[in-house]
Amino acid sequence: MTVFLVIIVLALLALTGWQMSKIFQLSKGPDVESSQVATDKDNSTQGLNLLIFVILFFILMIYCFWYYGNFYLPAAASEHGSQYDNLMFISIAVIMTVQVITQALLFYFGYKYRGNKTKKALFYADNDRLEFIWTIIPVVVLAGLILYGLFTWSNIMNVNEDDDPLVVELYAKQFSWTARYSGDDNTLGKANVRFIEGVNQLGVDENDSYAEDDIVATELHLPVGRPVLFKLRSQDVLHSAYFPHFRAQMNVVPGMITQFGFTPTVTSEEMRSSEYMEEKVRRINEIRRENSTALVANGESPLDSYEFDYYLLCNKICGVAHYNMQMKIVVESPEKYEAWLAEQQTFGETMAAQDAEENEAQGQQEEPIDAPAEVLETTEARNQEEEN
């Protein structure tokens, strides 16, 4: 870092010196030979440079589309996902079209109308009609995009309570996610960080009757085709619940509950067997195999082969282990989901188990406890010393 700063300082000093020498030269008065006025030859070179630049720029752009095209997400795995993707696609298409036309014209005109001693610039003050056209077109296009975006937004964000969405809490803390299902009553029990104690790591209110059947889980299982309403809570700092495959993201803010709802439409199994995912997994495993041979050669264990799973990620840089803040999501048939849910312990059961354990521990404490041998020995030794 210091070396880098020293280099910058030296470069700036050199620049200052060069600029000062230029000022001295200029202050000497006009010198025909070292004229600062561009010649026709200079203008031709610069014009050509503009043309070459824009051509290289477009080549680079096309190359990036081709090369990074592989890294696009697969088709959305949620009901609203296609609306979101359409909005994104239309916005990019509009921006790309305007970008290509304006950049091409800008650099081409720079070349075409390059300076020439024989040409004289046309004095052209203004043109109302032209100004009207280049104002009204962006206004109409932007208003259209914004209106379309607003409708899409309200479509996605307004969760219809009549659909009976499954209510799930996502609890964020540095650096993990925990899910809390609302149980048979589909209502989450109240919670507050002040109640965090022992196994009650989410601070669920034990006295709230709605909390009894809540289910706390470290893996997010979702039934395919059923709307889910996520209630998001954070224990410490800002996090962001990011479900890229479901085209969903919502900030998780300490001190308040935010929400986002979506309907998963593609099970984990279906996504795994899709053409896109099979190809992607094959590519990843190819890279892992190559890396494994190097690892094995160094006497280390090889990498596991990769299998696709949906993940909930954190998309706010929330601390040192932010990159690893994730929770596996399993989208499955309603039957499988119900079976999984039935295996889980309810909050009431977890608390009862903890209380039973505590009572047992207390019961044991009431029995007389023999002092450990070590303590006895030291006491004996001290007694002897005192006697002597």
Min CB(174)–Cu ion separation in Å: 7
Residue 378 CB partners (closer than 8 Å, separation 6+): none
Min CB(328)–Cu ion separation in Å: 16
How many H-runs (helices) and E-runs (strands) does the chain carry? 9, 10
Nearer to Cu ion (CB atom), residue 229 or residue 318: 318
Min CB(88)–Cu ion separation in Å: 24
Strand-by-strand arrangement of the 326-332 sheet: 220-223, 326-332, 310-314, 239-243, 248-252
Min CB(316)–Cu ion separation in Å: 5
Nearer to Cu ion (CB atom), residue 320 or residue 342: 320
Nearer to Cu ion (CB atom), residue 99 or residue 324: 324
Q: Where are the alpha helices (DSSP H) in 28-80?
A: 40-68
Min CB(103)–Cu ion separation in Å: 38
Nearer to Cu ion (CB atom), residue 265 or residue 315: 315
C-alpha gyration radius of the chain = 34
Min CB(349)–Cu ion separation in Å: 29
What is the Cα–Cα distance from 54 to 103, expressed in whole angstroms?
A: 7
Cis peptide before 151 (omega within 30 of 0): no
Report how far apart, in Å, the C-alpha atoms of 32 and of each of 29, 36, 38, 236, 273 are. 10, 9, 12, 70, 75
Nearer to Cu ion (CB atom), residue 76 or residue 314: 314
Nearer to Cu ion (CB atom), residue 168 or residue 325: 325
Under the rule (CB under 5 A), what is the footprint of Cu ion? 239, 314, 318, 325
Min CB(247)–Cu ion separation in Å: 20
Select from 232, 275, 187, 230 the least CA-distant residue to 78.
Answer: 230
Contact 225, 79 (CB under 8 A): no
Nearer to Cu ion (CB atom), residue 236 or residue 377: 236
* Chain centroid offset of residue 321 CA: 14
Residue 269 CB partners (closer than 8 Å, separation 6+): 332
Min CB(86)–Cu ion separation in Å: 30
Min CB(258)–Cu ion separation in Å: 14
Nearer to Cu ion (CB atom), residue 256 or residue 356: 256
Nearer to Cu ion (CB atom), residue 54 or residue 329: 329
What is the Cα–Cα distance from 212 to 204, expressed in whole angstroms?
A: 10
Contacts 24+ apart (CB under 8 A), 275-284: 276/74, 276/75, 277/74, 277/308, 280/74, 280/308, 281/306, 281/307, 281/308, 283/70
What is the Cα–Cα distance from 120 to 387, expressed in whole angstroms?
A: 118
